[in-house]
Amino acid sequence: MRGQLPFAIVLALGLSAAPGFAQDIMKSASQVPTDVSEIVSGGNWSEGDNSGVFRAIVVTTTDGQTSQARVVVQMLAFEKSNPLPKVAKTIPIKEVEEKKLPNAFLAMDVENDNELTLIITSYDAEKDQDTSMMVKFDGTGKYEIVPAPKEEPADDSSGKPDRKE
């Protein structure tokens, strides 16, 4: 993320600069619902006069003994008159909901402006099964499910020499 301080540095500077800030941050943190199990943010987007960052949120709901994870991506917009961003768009990832995943863990791969690849993984202990999906977003909030890159074999045991053509 070009030109932005990492959140931990901003937090440390804020905590040391304002004594009441530590209490404010504890209050804000305590207001996050417990069904929000993960939040990650990163990358950047711009569309017309608006620009900002992406934020992905996992909300896990339960029904008795079963749980289901849902993932939404928000596009946070920055305004000159307000230091806090506003939510410009909220995009639910319907493919995650359709899979009825019991949990979800997030990672972001950010290589280009106006592009975010969100990697969603889940582990179902009852089935002893991992599930993962990659979702690519553009600067307008449109997304597509993309195939995971194929893993290269670590060892070529064929005995054939590598040939470069």
Site of tokens 């990672």: 107
Residues 6+ apart with CB under 8 A from 1: 42, 43, 44, 53, 110
At 22 the pLDDT is: 66
Q: What is the residue-level pLDDT of the chain in tens, covering all 165 positions?
A: 444 444 444 444 454 545 566 678 888 889 999 999 999 999 999 988 889 999 999 999 988 888 999 999 999 999 888 888 999 999 999 999 999 999 999 999 988 899 999 999 999 888 898 999 999 999 999 999 998 776 666 555 555 555 554
Q: Which helix (H) or strand (E) holds 106?
A: strand 105-109
At 2 the pLDDT is: 43
Phi-psi region of 53 (alpha: psi -120 to 50; beta: other; left: phi over 0): beta
At 122 the pLDDT is: 95
